[in-house]
Structure 1
């Protein structure tokens, strides 16, 4: 089965669409971490049989809570990765945001060779317009150099690059095979030896990104980010926009005046020429609500055990839930298993392997020992 993990803060309606769309396009179960999302949105997650909901806050993360949302997202994704390891039905984990939909051709995933540990979901970004007559159905794909040059000359983008063309990320998202020594980031994957892994690509593995697809979503998204005080969750090129939004939010202005200038900022920075892009054949037409996948259902006892493991993670040490820590988060899993009594099951083998490599089983870490030996040889006369 394929599991998705996300950290979400959104309205109940958007959360409900997010869950339904990902399940319809190939995901079997979702692990959703929420941060002060609101009672209505959390109720949607709590009531859904295909969702394991993990409500978090400053108390849940404990003393080592990072103020950086990106760090918390990576920690949550890697916590889900190790917490799922004891359950044999969980084969793959994909990391998506609350405004994203994983488009998974299940036959492609099922046919991946055993030595493939990660795949890449190429991004399709929603065309942004003030309003849509219904749901968003037109998406931008990554363009080649000739297409980017054409749009630059036409004045639709400032420079011939996909980073100028897309408002959000261009690196896509990743899926990882569970019970392997890999760590998942926002857009990258690393092996236990510290090397980045290139993801398997296929036309049947893509993702939708509904990044500020309307003026209302633009205002909601960027006003939230402006109020957060964080500078780690958007590109440097967007810093002037966030500063302008922050200034507008603190100025003593009538609501209608503030709304007018927020919309003007949208027109200047985000609104797109759908008709021209479609005329040039540069858009993909995708109905996010047309997914036909019927999710498989994990055993109910296992879902209870998974929830217990994640509940037990409140306040635990999250240091190894990163891309680079040698323990790869499996030391956290060991702690959770001891706290809950859940058996390691099929996770036991990878836990032993990683423990030996990291030196957490009482042996010296092999990699560190090798580096020290090499250094001594270089210093020898």
Structure 2
């Protein structure tokens, strides 16, 4: 493919012609110009050039929402947006329309997913068409539709990367999974089962107790009414869990680690509780602060994670739980409202 053909106008996108200026391509994207609630999200026209060297342009068909995006929009993420006009979004699935010079792994027509290893204030995928570096794109699982693909990569690569590659989860291990009804939590239950481990799902209220059981979790602890440490001890015959996979942090992280066997491993991948993280004195203890975006920058990890996800999806061991699907970028604010309500189970997806 020549550079000129890679940079040709994108099929289906609109063009604007300025007085005496070269024609440019525009597309729709969700931006925000101030920090705040879901109401700050606006659908706007943005310029869209062809992909440069090492870049992939793909048409977005579905977008998977993540808690990090709500935090970023509100100014509470670990890095802050550049305003006005910040983009947003880690996770999307679609079809390649053009590639830049030097790209060899992808070609027009390929079904792909965003690898969520970029600054989403710059490369955010809430849009009709997006351009990402080749290293931020992965093949979609064979035979998966766009909604399934948009709900797969970040949740399942986080579960696989955190529990298996970082934590060393092995067959027969008990793993305590907090926020078990979240997108990553439901993926973690399925991932643990695929590995042959024993998931212990922890969720706050009775209303969400049944979902982990339906996913195959043999044990569920309802933390509003049950003692986490005592229940984990009872389930494991007094030994404690081999691993905790935690999305919450805060003072409760110490309680989760108290439920571990001596010498156990804690992997913390989120801070839903924004208070300082408390460390357990249940020593010896190994603690990993897991960053999926950093690990996903490694080509070898992306390849291994994609193979794990693809094989699990093909066998039926992995199947993303879709909480609700919203149709159109204009529904993005509504999707964010549902995400912040904490009433859903699984992944929220917006189709484009």
TM-score > 0.5, shorter chain as reference: no
TM (norm. structure 1) is 0.23
TM (norm. structure 2) is 0.24
Larger Rg: 1
Q: Which one has more relative contact order, counting CA pairs under 8 Å at least 6 apart?
A: 1
Higher share of residues assigned strand = 2
Higher share of residues assigned helix = 1
